[in-house]
Amino acid sequence: MSAQSQPLSAYVTLVSNDGYEFKILRDAACIAGTIKKALDPASGFREVAENRMELPTINGVVLEKVCEYLYYNQKNMESKDVPDLEIPPELCLELLIAADYLDV
Amino acid sequence: MDEDPLPSLSHATGATTTPNSPFLDPRFHALKSSSPPPLFSENDSLDTADVTNYESPREKRKRAGTWWQTGPRGAPKRRQFNRNFDSGVYMMSDDSEASAPASSVMSHLGFDGTSDIPSDPPLAPSHPDNQEGNDHTAGSMSASEARLFRAVQHCLDSNMTYFSFAFDLQDHELHHLHQLNQIITLPPGDDIEVPSEGQYRSMVPEIHLNLSWNKLRYLSPTVFQLQHLTTLTLRNNCIESVPPHIKDLTSLQTLDLCYNSIRELPCELLALCAMSGPGRLTRLELAGNPIYGFNDNKLSRLFLHQCSTTEIPPEFMYTASGQHRRVQNRRELLQKATNMDWSAFEGHHMYTPPPVKGNTSNPNVFDDKLFLVCRTAASYYDQTGWLLRNSPVLPTQQKLAPSYAQPSCVTHTPPSPGSAPEVWFDRPSSSKVLSLATLSLVRAYKTEPDRVREEIEYCVGGSVPPQVEALLAIAQENEISMFRPLRSCHCCGKDYIAPRAEWIEGWFFQQQIVPIRVAVCSWACVPDVIAKRPEPLLWKYDRRGENAFDIQERERADRLRGLRSGF
């Protein structure tokens, strides 16, 4: 029984470097290019079998904001008037580095 | 028979031996953080945020507060004791550092080294001769800057309204011009005839500024803060692009940009052209610029005479309703343009003026009107400002790396004449959400614009990732040409860094077709009328339609060509 034969779960888990786990919708998570590649069933990475991706460069606070952005992006994909996403100034540089790493 | 045992297959042992993920690279582990202790939204209060429930590799912070507030710990805040030579009126009201008595008292008491402040009252001297001795700042100026300073002072003293400065000035030397805001209109004196009753006399000054024959490239924000500027003449400089701040000059009536290196104008200029009332731009001079033009030679000679127009292929230009643009003469252009259906273009971006309505039989009616004549296909860019594959190069864009200019051959020689490839009109995505990298960098620039790069380098420990570096480079370019790192979207008004799509619109204004460059923050911001493929050709070039005027024009052109070749 290989990972490819299993149906894809609706939710995936993102783990920060300090051990916080965020369970978010797979569709939302795959907006980020790096997560999409890691969870691609064709790649055969360990992440696919476990539906779990560890992000050793991103800490919990930043990852929470990243998850918020992923849902914000998914929700406003079709809308004409996009509300602003609140980004606290002390987080913006770490978010920038995380966004670059996650390709989002 | 003995056989060598086969090595066991790696996948036979199950999921425990799947290949290692490349995302667990140990070099990412030692990321530094300058944030305060983390606080999650699910935490109730700061009391429960304890080191026992949060452990991450972090080192002692070198800074006292948050990154945008203060420098190293313990450094006292520096205050500068500069005197403002503004009005000469002493206000004994507060202890602000600009208050002149406070600083002079301090220097008498020997508090700090401010004793080099001249003891003369800071009134502008009335004679230009003793200016040199009195003004201690003149020593640090370049020769041209000092000349400008003296000239401005002299003009202020005599309260002139016509200024002409040609001292080989550079952009950064223009900051003295802010003093021109002090100009007022003189009230009628004894020797001036008092206007009769009912005769309106405006007290708003009209400032005419001539900065021709300098070395200006990007201008300076100071110029755009002169709110009563009526005429701005910038002939014979090296200006390549006009900053979007031009829209702040709401009194501007004449803008002369002859003999520069301008290829297109910013979208914000439309706001000035479309304004009603006395502040409307009524003269726009563009002669002698390599203005992005049309391949219709007759048209260029009629409208853009003296411009060395860059030829563009006819298939690149479409009329507003998508028709092939081949214009016989101005009359035809005006009639065609006004007879077309403009409803799709009403308000397609923020600076679209209200539609023209008038008698179509008399083209002179439209002499001072403004309307859209043609446009190019939109060029789409990726997150870091690189042109997308299969997207057309913006015709006025020159600074493109050769490897990214590959669609240019497509641009100028489309597969079949008169049609552009289908891929040009595929909008890559219709989401208006900006990328997280852009959002967070915009936030960083809004918080502390001067230290963003330094702080990013500190955060990642040296090498900035290439994507971030590209965004920073674009922000730096914006800073030079637009005086701020962020741009403002022409369609939705949001702040962004790298444009995702751009196109050129040809607006008919003052007997010429002015190329206007529009840039937007997301692919979805490109209006549908611009993104979609234009309608099939309806407006064709017809040789039988040539009239006497055309033939005369052609003969004149032939004669001219003969004359030129004779030289």
3-state secondary structure B394-463: CCCCCCCCHHHHCCHHHHHCCCCCCCCCHHHHCCCCCCCCCCHHHHHHHHHHHHCCCCHHHHHHHHHCCC
Return the minimum-mean-pLDDT range out of A27-36, B137-146, B164-173: B137-146
Is the ipTM above a cut-off of 0.90?
yes
Given a cut of 50, whether residue B500 has pLDDT beyond it is: yes
> What pLDDT shows up at residue B536?
43
Q: Which two tokens stand for residue B52?
A: 């026992």
**Contact between B34 and B61 (Cβ < 8 Å):** yes
- Phi and psi, residue B509, nearest 5°: -150, 125
- Whole-number Å distance between alpha carbons of B3 and B1: 6
What pLDDT sits at residue B42?
Answer: 59
Tell me: pLDDT of B101 over 60.
no
Burial class (CB in 10 A: 0-12, 13-18, 19+), B544: exposed
Asked if residue B485 has pLDDT above 70, the reply is yes
Q: How far apart are CA A34 and CA B342, in angstroms?
A: 45
CATH number assigned to the domain covering A2-102: 3.30.710.10
Is B40 an 8 Å CB contact of chain A? yes
User: pLDDT-based confidence at B290, cuts 50/70/90?
Assistant: confident
Determine whether the interchain pair A82/B33 forms a contact, defined as Cβ–Cβ distance below 8 Å: no
Joined tokens for residue A99:
């966004």
What is the pLDDT confidence band of residue B282, given thresholds at 50, 70 and 90?
A: confident
Nearest chain B residue (CA) to A33: B435
pLDDT at A13 over 90: yes
Contact assignment for B23 to A34 by CB distance below 8 Å: yes
Of all residues in chain A, the one with the smallest CA distance to B433 is A73
Residues linked to residue A52 through DSSP beta bridges, in sequence order: A13
CB proximity B4 to A under 8 Å:
no
The CA distance from B367 to B282, in Å, is 10
**Could you write out the DSSP letters of every residue in A6-23?**
SPPPSEEEEE-TTS-EEE
Cβ contact, residue pair A93, B455, below 8 Å? yes
CB contact under 8 A, A99 and B28: no
User: Mean pLDDT throughout B427-434?
Assistant: 87
What dihedral angle (degrees, nearest 10) is formed by the CA atoms of B260, B263, B268, B269? 60
* Amino acid (1-letter code) at residue B453: R
The encoded tokens of residue B324 equal 């092939």
Q: Which of B105, B344, B22, B39 is nearest to A88 (CA)?
A: B39
- Which CB contacts under 8 angstroms, 24+ apart, belong to B272-280? B272/B246, B272/B247, B273/B353, B273/B370, B273/B507, B273/B509, B274/B351, B274/B353, B274/B354, B274/B370, B275/B250, B278/B251, B278/B253, B279/B250, B279/B251, B279/B252, B279/B253, B280/B253
Banded pLDDT at B286 (limits 50, 70, 90)? confident
Tell me the pLDDT of chain B averaged across its residues.
68
- Give the residue on B whose Cα is nearest the Cα of A85: B439
Q: Tell me whether residues B18 and A46 touch, CB distance under 8 A.
A: yes
Asked whether the predicted pLDDT for residue A72 surpasses 80, the reply is: yes
Q: Determine contact: B459 vs chain A, CB below 8 A.
A: yes
CB-CB neighbours of B308 under 10 Å: 11
Residue B61, pLDDT > 80, answer no
- Classified as helix, coil or strand, B555 is helix
pLDDT score, position B96: 46
Residues A20-57 pLDDT 10s:
999 999 999 999 999 999 988 888 888 888 889 999 99
CB B526 within 8 A of CB B520: yes
Residues in B touching A102 (Cβ below 8 Å): 436
- Which residues is B503 bridged to in the sheet? B518
Nearest 5°: the CA angle B252, B221, B281 is 15
CA distance to partner chain A, nearest, from residue B374 (Å): 27
Using CB atoms, which residue from B38, B55, B459 is nearest to A93? B459
Residue B302 to residue B111: CA distance in whole angstroms: 70
Residues 528-567 of B with CB under 8 A from A: none
End-to-end CA distance of chain B: 100
Cα angle B454, B460, B466; round to 5: 85
What is the pTM (predicted TM-score) of this model? 0.67
End-to-end CA distance of chain A: 33
Contact B40 A80 (CB under 8 A): no
Is the Cβ–Cβ distance between B226 and B182 less than 8 Å? no
Residue of A nearest to B57 (CA): A18
Tell me: the pLDDT tens digits for B533-545? 665 433 333 344 4
The predicted structure's pLDDT at residue A101 = 92
Please answer whether residues B347 and B359 qualify as being in contact, where contact means their C-beta atoms are separated by less than 8 angstroms: no
Two structure tokens written together for B413: 């020689």
Contacts 24+ apart (CB under 8 A), B27-30: B28/A56, B28/A57, B28/A101, B29/A17, B29/A56, B29/A57, B29/B57, B30/B57, B30/B461
Q: What is the pLDDT of residue A97?
A: 92
Name the residue among B277, B289, B202 with its Cα closest to residue B241.
B289
Domain limits of chain A?
2-102
Distance CA A51, CA A10 (A): 10
* Strand order across the beta sheet in which B162-164 lies: B162-164, B207-210, B229-233, B254-256, B283-285
- Torsion sign, CA atoms B345, B350, A76, B383: positive
pLDDT digits (tens, 9 = 90+) for B342-360: 667 778 888 888 765 554 4
Q: Nearest CA to B324 among B550, B531, B532, B536?
A: B536
Question: Within 10 Å of residue B199's Cβ, how many Cβ atoms?
Answer: 7
Annotate B319-357 with DSSP letters as a single string. ETTS-B-----HHHHHHHHHHS--GGGTTSSTTPPPPP-
Q: What is the pLDDT of residue B37?
A: 65
DSSP state of A31: T
Site of tokens 């031009």: B246
pLDDT above 80 for B51: no
Pair of tokens at residue B479: 């800073």
B284 or B553: which leads in pLDDT: B284
Chain A residues inside the 8 Å CB shell of B17: none
Give the nearest partner residue to B38 out of A3, A61, A97, using CB atoms.
Answer: A61
For the cut 80, the answer to whether the pLDDT of residue B68 exceeds it is no
* pLDDT tier, A71 (very low <50, low <70, confident <90, very high otherwise): very high
Segment (H or E) for A27: helix A26-29
Contacts of B28 in chain A (CB under 8 A): 56-57, 101
Q: How far apart are CA B294 and CA B302, in angstroms?
A: 12
Percentage of residues of chain B with pLDDT beyond 90: 17
